[in-house]
A = this chain, B = another copy of it.
Amino acid sequence: MPRKVYLKLTALDEARRLWLEGFSQYALGAEEVPLHLAQGRTLAAPAEARVSSPAFHGAAMDGAALAAADTFGASERRPLALRVGEKAFWINTGAPLPPGCDAVVMIENLVPGRDADGAETVALEKAAFPWQHVRKLGEDLVATEIILPAGTVLGAYELGALAAGGVLRPLVYKKPRVAVIPSGSELKPLDEVTPGMLAAGAALPEFNGLILSALARDAGAEPTVLPIVPDEPELIREAVSAATLGPYDLVVVNAGSSAGSRDFTPDTIAELGELWVHGVNIMPGKPTALGRVNGKAVLGAPGYPVSAVISFEEFGQTLLARWQGREIPPRPRDEARPFQDLPSRPGTEDFLRVKLGRVDGRLIAVPLPRGAGTVSSLSRADGLIRIPAPAEGLGADRPAPVAFLRPPSQIDGALLAVGSHDQTLDLLDSLWRRRDPGRRLTSAHVGSLGGLTALARGRAHLAGSHLLGPDGVYNRAAVAETLAGTPARLVRLADREQGLILPPGNPRGVLGLADLARPDVTFINRQRGSGTRVLFDRRLRQIGLEPAAVNGYEDEEYTHLAVAAAVLSGRASAGLGARAAAAALGLDFLPLDREEYDLVIPERHWDDPRMQSLLETVRSPEFHAAAAALGGYGLTRTGQVVWTFEG
A→B interface (CB under 8 Å): 1, 3, 34-36, 39, 46, 50-57, 60-62, 90, 92-96, 102, 107-108, 112, 130-131, 135-151, 155-161, 163-166, 168, 184, 186, 190-191, 193-195, 198-201, 204-205, 207-208, 210-215, 217-218, 231, 258, 260-262, 303, 305, 309, 321-322, 325-327, 329-330, 332, 369, 371, 373-381, 405, 407-410, 423, 426-427, 429-430, 433-434, 437-438, 440, 555, 559, 561-562, 564-566, 568-569, 571, 584-585
Contact A186 B150 (CB under 8 A): no
User: CA of A264 to CA of B56 in the docked complex: distance in angstroms?
Assistant: 27
Q: Given B90, B102, B559, B562, which contacts A1 in the complex, CB threshold below 8 Å?
A: B90
Shortest Cβ distance from A63 into B: residue: B260
Contact A409 B329 (CB under 8 A): yes
Contact A51 B163 (CB under 8 A): no
Q: Given B194, B200, B205, which contacts A163 in the complex, CB threshold below 8 Å?
A: B205
User: CA of A39 to CA of B221 in the docked complex: distance in angstroms?
Assistant: 14
Contact A566 B136, CB 8 Å, known A1-B90, A199-B55: yes
User: CA of A149 to CA of B204 in the docked complex: distance in angstroms?
Assistant: 25
Contact A378 B157 (CB under 8 A): yes
Contact A369 B57, CB 8 Å, known A3-B107, A145-B584: no
User: CA of A585 to CA of B94 in the docked complex: distance in angstroms?
Assistant: 22
User: CA of A619 to CA of B145 in the docked complex: distance in angstroms?
Assistant: 22
A-B contact pairs, 5 of them (CB 8 A): A139-B373, A142-B564, A147-B376, A156-B214, A325-B434
User: CA of A388 to CA of B93 in the docked complex: distance in angstroms?
Assistant: 28
Contact B565 A142 (CB under 8 A): yes
Shortest Cβ distance from A142 into B: residue: B561
Contact B410 A210 (CB under 8 A): no
Shortest Cβ distance from A312 into B: residue: B156
Contact B585 A55 (CB under 8 A): no
Contact A39 B325, CB 8 Å, known A107-B3, A163-B190, A584-B142: no
Contact A408 B375, CB 8 Å, known A107-B1, A215-B156, A569-B56: no
> Which B residues lie within 8 Å of A137 (CB)?
565-566, 568-569, 571
Contact A571 B136, CB 8 Å, known A107-B260, A161-B376: yes
Q: How far is the CB of A579 from chain B (nearest CB, A)?
A: 13
Contact B36 A190 (CB under 8 A): yes
Contact B195 A139 (CB under 8 A): no
Contact A135 B375 (CB under 8 A): no
Contact A146 B427, CB 8 Å, known A157-B211, A190-B168: yes
Contact A210 B163, CB 8 Å, known A145-B426, A430-B149: yes
Contact A150 B214 (CB under 8 A): no
Contact B92 A186 (CB under 8 A): yes
> Which B residues lie within 8 Å of A141 (CB)?
376
User: CA of A48 to CA of B136 in the docked complex: distance in angstroms?
Assistant: 59
Q: Given B150, B186, B374, which contacts A139 in the complex, CB threshold below 8 Å?
A: B374
User: CA of A288 to CA of B371 in the docked complex: distance in angstroms?
Assistant: 53
Contact A426 B146 (CB under 8 A): yes
Shortest Cβ distance from A324 into B: residue: B437
Q: A35-B210, A61-B260 are in contact. List 13 more A-B contacts (CB 8 A).
A: A34-B191, A39-B217, A56-B569, A139-B369, A139-B373, A140-B369, A140-B371, A140-B376, A142-B565, A142-B585, A150-B434, A160-B211, A161-B380
User: CA of A327 to CA of B414 in the docked complex: distance in angstroms?
Assistant: 13
User: CA of A387 to CA of B3 in the docked complex: distance in angstroms?
Assistant: 67
Contact A260 B568 (CB under 8 A): no
Q: Given B159, B407, B559, which contacts A211 in the complex, CB threshold below 8 Å?
A: B159
> Which B residues lie within 8 Å of A131 (CB)?
571
> Which B residues lie within 8 Å of A378 (CB)?
157, 160-161
User: CA of A3 to CA of B109 in the docked complex: distance in angstroms?
Assistant: 11
> Which B residues lie within 8 Å of A138 (CB)?
561-562, 565-566, 568-569
Among A157, A190, A213, the one with the most B-chain Cβ atoms within 10 Å of its Cβ is A157
Contact B214 A39 (CB under 8 A): yes
Q: How far is the CB of A213 from chain B (nearest CB, A)?
A: 7
